[in-house]
């Protein structure tokens, strides 16, 4: 009897789980300047562009052996120079996110263990428990990541509906569309501040090669998983925007922006306009599951990228070496420098743009010149889609740089 084939649903859950991380809580704040209609358009633009670039990576990946990741593809098609640039960008983003997830997830784990035991649990203990359980799942197999992520996404959906169901039913259209705003109120001048955050909220590209290997080269099935997973994330993001921006007026967002989207401040401000009940506790559960599922997805992509770079195989000894290189650097950094990632986290979107937009478009162009189009899986759109995705990357880089330099306006409420 043949081994059971991985399910499309499981693959979609890996993608959705990777995407929907703690960054979701930053979206309403980052898009408060353009408000709901603008946020909807920015999210749709980002979703389409990021999904397209992911499908580009998938098409290119089909021309290489199972398990080949960015290192193999970029080195072969774009050369060693671009491979170094891309490798640094991939390592920076994935290692930094792993570092951040260990810190935040470990903190929540320590709090949870403290509540269960009735005594204070040290942060390093929480970090080691959080890290140990999830890292072992990634080391064991992609199938285990599939199963655990599916459970986490199920929990996220339940807690999300529990937390936002009442808010969505109380949405006020004048608030949602800011109809009481003063004449000539500006919205689109704040788009530059929203774009990089939304891009970082749709990152899944490190998992494309992992899924292609997991699905034994079935590219059409992987494409469906990418489309389904990203669409689930988009729907949750839009519903979250609806719940927040349909109840909390735009001109009342100042304290939330000043607190950089901190959930407790968001709920405290929101409670002045609509009953929030136990929303803070429910969202804490949601955030924990979102961080855990994102940790699994991000480290799975990093794990397979490192295995490809060092040409390590699926044997237990090689997987152990891959796990050591994947997990030990961020764990050691997190234990020695607990909040060191804060100074660098603002550059994640900038680095991610390199390998989620610019490189995929360049890879597809070079791939079609080398291998041709129409052989096996092929994304539609032709050259215009490559130009679209590449331009999307340039626009995001410009938006990030100009925002950090203070050249473009940033909404403060």
Q: What is the pLDDT of residues 126-176, one digit of tens each?
A: 999 999 999 999 998 888 998 899 999 999 989 888 888 888 888 999 999
**DSSP three-state, residue 113:** helix
CATH of domain 8-405: 1.20.1740.10
Token pair of 154 as six digits: 């199920």
Distance, in Å, from the CA atom of 163 to the CA atom of 242, rounded to the nearest integer, reads 13
What confidence score (pLDDT) does residue 2 get?
A: 43
In which residue are the tokens 């203070």 written?
Answer: 406
Contact 202, 233 (CB under 8 A): yes
The rounded distance, in Å, linking the Cα atoms of 58 and 217 is 10
> Which among 156, 143, 158, 99 has a CA at the least distance from the CA of 330?
99
- Please report, for the chain, the start and end positions of each structural domain, with discontinuous segments joined by +: 8-405
CB 61 within 8 A of CB 81: no
Beta-carbon count within 10 A of 411 CB: 21
- Residue 232: CB atoms within 10 A of its CB come to 20
308, 209 Cβ separation under 8 angstroms: yes
Please answer whether residues 70 and 90 qualify as being in contact, where contact means their C-beta atoms are separated by less than 8 angstroms: yes
CA distance 53 to 295: 22
Q: What is the pTM of this model?
A: 0.91
CA 219 to chain centre: 22
User: What is the Cα–Cα distance from 208 to 371, expressed in whole angstroms?
Assistant: 20
> Rounded to a whole number, what is the distance in angstroms from the first to the last CA of the chain?
62
> Residues 356, 42: contact at Cβ < 8 Å?
no
Which parts of 170-218 fold into alpha helices (H)? 173-176, 191-200, 208-214
SS3 102: helix
Cβ atoms of residues 187 and 339 within 8 Å: no
125, two tokens: 């203990």
- Relative orientation angle of helices 80-117 and 279-310, to the nearest 10 degrees: 140
Determine the length of the chain.
Answer: 413
Separation CA 237–CA 280 (nearest Å): 18
**Burial (CB count <10 Å: 0-12, 13-18, 19+), residue 120:** exposed
Distance CA 396, CA 311 (A): 33
- Phi-psi domain of 181 (left: phi exceeds 0; alpha: psi -120 through 50; beta: other): beta
Paired tokens of 232: 């689930």
Where does residue 370 rank: exposed (0-12), middle (13-18), buried (19+ CB within 10 A)? exposed
Return the structure tokens found at 92: 């920076």
- The predicted structure's pLDDT at residue 184: 85
Nearest to 203 by CA among 40, 8, 411, 396: 396
Identify the pLDDT of residue 1. Answer: 35
Say if residues 399 and 199 touch (Cβ distance below 8 Å). no
pLDDT value of position 3: 54
The confidence score (pLDDT) of residue 22 equals 60
Residues in the chain predicted with pLDDT less than 50, given as ranges, are 1-2
């Amino acid at each position: 009897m043949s081994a059971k084939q991985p399910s499309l649903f499981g693959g979609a859950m890996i993608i959705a789980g990777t995407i929907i991380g703690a960054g979701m809580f930053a979206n309403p704040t980052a898009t408060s300047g353009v408000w709901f209609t603008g946020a909807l358009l920015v999210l749709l633009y980002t979703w389409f562009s990021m999904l397209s670039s992911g499908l580009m990576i998938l098409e290119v990946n089909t021309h290489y052996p199972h398990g080949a990741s960015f290192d193999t593809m970029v080195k072969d098609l774009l050369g060693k120079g671009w491979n170094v640039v891309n490798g640094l960008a991939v390592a920076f983003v994935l290692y930094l996110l792993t570092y951040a997830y260990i810190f935040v997830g470990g903190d929540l784990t320590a709090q949870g263990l403290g509540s269960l035991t009735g005594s204070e649990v040290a942060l390093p203990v929480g970090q080691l428990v959080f890290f140990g359980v999830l890292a072992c799942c990634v080391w064991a197999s992609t199938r285990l990541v599939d199963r655990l992520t599916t459970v986490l996404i199920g929990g996220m959906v339940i807690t999300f509906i529990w937390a936002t169901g009442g808010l969505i039913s109380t949405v006020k259209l004048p608030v949602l569309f800011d109809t009481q705003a003063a004449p000539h109120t500006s919205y689109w001048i704040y788009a530059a501040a929203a774009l990089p955050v939304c891009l970082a909220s749709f990152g899944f590209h490190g998992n494309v090669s992992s899924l292609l290997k997991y699905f034994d080269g079935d590219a059409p099935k992987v494409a469906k998983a990418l489309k389904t997973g990203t669409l689930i994330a988009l729907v949750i993001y839009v519903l979250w925007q609806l719940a927040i921006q349909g109840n909390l007026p735009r001109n009342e967002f100042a304290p939330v922006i000043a607190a950089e989207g901190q959930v407790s401040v968001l709920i405290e401000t929101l409670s002045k306009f609509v009953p929030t009940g136990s929303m803070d506790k429910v969202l804490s559960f949601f955030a924990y599951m979102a961080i855990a599922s994102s940790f699994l997805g991000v480290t799975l992509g990093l794990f397979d990228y490192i295995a490809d770079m060092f040409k390590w195989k699926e044997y237990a000894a090689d997987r152990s070496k891959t796990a050591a290189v994947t997990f030990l650097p961020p764990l050691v950094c997190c234990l020695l420098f607990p909040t060191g990632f804060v100074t660098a986290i603002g550059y994640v979107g900038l680095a991610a743009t390199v390998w989620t937009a610019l490189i995929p478009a360049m890879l597809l162009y070079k791939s079609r010149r080398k291998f041709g189009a129409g052989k096996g899986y092929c994304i539609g759109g032709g050259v215009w889609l490559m130009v679209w995705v590449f331009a999307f990357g340039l626009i995001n880089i410009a938006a990030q740089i100009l925002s950090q330099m203070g050249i473009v306006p940033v909404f403060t409420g």
